[in-house]
């Protein structure tokens, strides 16, 4: 009979290989189908074109409008999420009593458990009408509303990871600063945050990579007009929103229009991969060991 000491490592190794094979399979499908697409559409036209009308005549396959819409939503989300997430992390780590922290942190992390389609309806039915009260020219579908709600959605990622990084900073550093006469705010900003910088920046990058890949919020709230402009009050279309719109079943399987799903998908994959590589690099470069 095989002992558990021999069997369990093999089972765990199997699980690890399943995740690796799944990732390899996804990447292989994206590459294979994208190659078929780029046989019909030149890669340079795809990556530099400013018009995206693959379902209309004449069909144009410039992906820049989708990339611009995705980045616009991500920038707005970062403006919302980074200050609030970092401020929440500093409060929970340096100011909040243990009892308050044990209550506030789980409540804050509930935001991560809300389905994104609920966030999308929240953006469309609450945030957009609220914005119209202050900015009458804002359109029903707009990048500003979607970006704000995506920012709210990624606050728990930034807050939780940043707070974990700050808690890991040794108390000896804090006590040394207090002994020199520093205030609590000075300790938080000048000692703890720099010491936890690698974890904090990694939380920013991972949160923003999550924003880049968000689907339902931008599909419901941002619209479906792939315009290459940078006005957040107007309707735009993101990479993920386009994939959703074309995957509805109205496009003929195997056609160039259908293959745009994979071309856009691999573009999104490369963007998020670069963000994660950047997060790993920053974590290694600025990591402090105590």
Lowest mean pLDDT among 191-195, 228-232, 281-285: 281-285
Residue with tokens 């006469």: 181
Alpha helices per DSSP H over 168-287: 171-179, 184-186, 193-195, 197-212, 216-221, 239-246, 256-285
Give 53's strand partners.
60
- In this prediction, what percent of the chain has a pLDDT beyond 90? 25
Better-scored residue on pLDDT, 90 or 278: 90
Which string of b and e fits 12-32 if b means at least 16 CB within 10 Å? eeeeeeeeeeeeeeeeeebee
pLDDT in tens, 243-273: 888 876 667 777 888 889 999 999 999 988 8
For residue 86, the model assigns a pLDDT of: 92
For residue 148, the model assigns a pLDDT of: 95
Lowest mean pLDDT among 17-21, 55-59, 93-97, 196-200: 55-59
Write the CB contacts of 20 (distance below 8 Å, at least 6 apart in sequence): none
| Cβ atoms of 40 and 256 closer than 8 Å | yes
Q: What mean pLDDT is predicted for residues 214-234?
A: 87
pLDDT in tens, 84-116: 999 999 998 888 888 888 888 888 878 778 888
For residue 10, the model assigns a pLDDT of: 82
**What confidence category does residue 4 fall into, taking pLDDT thresholds of 50, 70 and 90?**
low
Statement: residue 189 has pLDDT above 80: yes
Angle at 198 between CA 192 and CA 204, to 5 degrees: 100
Statement: residue 127 has pLDDT above 80: yes
Q: What mean pLDDT is predicted for residues 22-29?
A: 89
| Cβ atoms of 216 and 150 closer than 8 Å | no
For residue 152, the model assigns a pLDDT of: 93
What DSSP letter does each residue of 52-106 carry, written as one string? EETTSSS-EE--HHHHHHHHHHHHHHHHHHHHHHHHHHHIIIIIS-HHHHHHHHH
For residue 272, the model assigns a pLDDT of: 87
- In this prediction, what percent of the chain has a pLDDT beyond 70? 96
**What confidence category does residue 119 fall into, taking pLDDT thresholds of 50, 70 and 90?**
very high
Give 121's strand partners.
none
């Amino acid at each position: 009979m095989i002992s558990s000491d021999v069997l369990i490592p093999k089972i765990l190794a199997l699980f690890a290989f399943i995740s690796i094979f799944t990732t390899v399979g996804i990447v292989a499908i994206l590459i294979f189908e994208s190659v078929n697409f780029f046989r019909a559409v030149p890669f340079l036209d795809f990556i530099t074109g400013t018009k995206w009308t693959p379902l209309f005549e004449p069909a144009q396959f410039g992906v820049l409008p989708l990339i611009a819409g995705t980045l616009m939503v991500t920038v707005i989300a970062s403006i919302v999420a980074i200050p609030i997430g970092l401020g929440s992390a500093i409060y929970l780590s340096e100011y909040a009593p243990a009892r308050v922290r044990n209550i506030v942190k789980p409540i804050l992390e509930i935001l991560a458990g809300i389905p994104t389609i609920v966030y999308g309806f929240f953006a469309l039915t609450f945030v957009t009408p609220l914005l119209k009260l202050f900015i009458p020219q804002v359109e029903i579908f707009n990048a500003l509303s979607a970006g704000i709600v995506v920012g709210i959605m990624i606050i728990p990622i930034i807050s939780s990871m940043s707070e974990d990084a700050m808690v890991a900073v040794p108390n000896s550093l804090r006590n040394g600063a207090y002994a020199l006469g520093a205030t609590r705010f000075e300790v938080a900003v000048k000692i703890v945050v720099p010491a936890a910088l690698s974890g904090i920046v990694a939380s920013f990058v991972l949160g923003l990579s999550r924003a880049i890949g968000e689907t339902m919020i931008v599909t419901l709230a941002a619209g479906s007009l792939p315009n290459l402009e940078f006005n957040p009050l107007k309707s735009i279309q993101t990479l993920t929103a386009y994939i959703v719109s074309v995957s509805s079943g109205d496009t003929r399987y195997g056609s160039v229009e259908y293959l745009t799903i994979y071309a856009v998908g691999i573009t999104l994959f490369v963007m998020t991969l670069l963000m994660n590589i950047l997060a790993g690099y920053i974590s290694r470069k600025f990591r402090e060991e105590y």
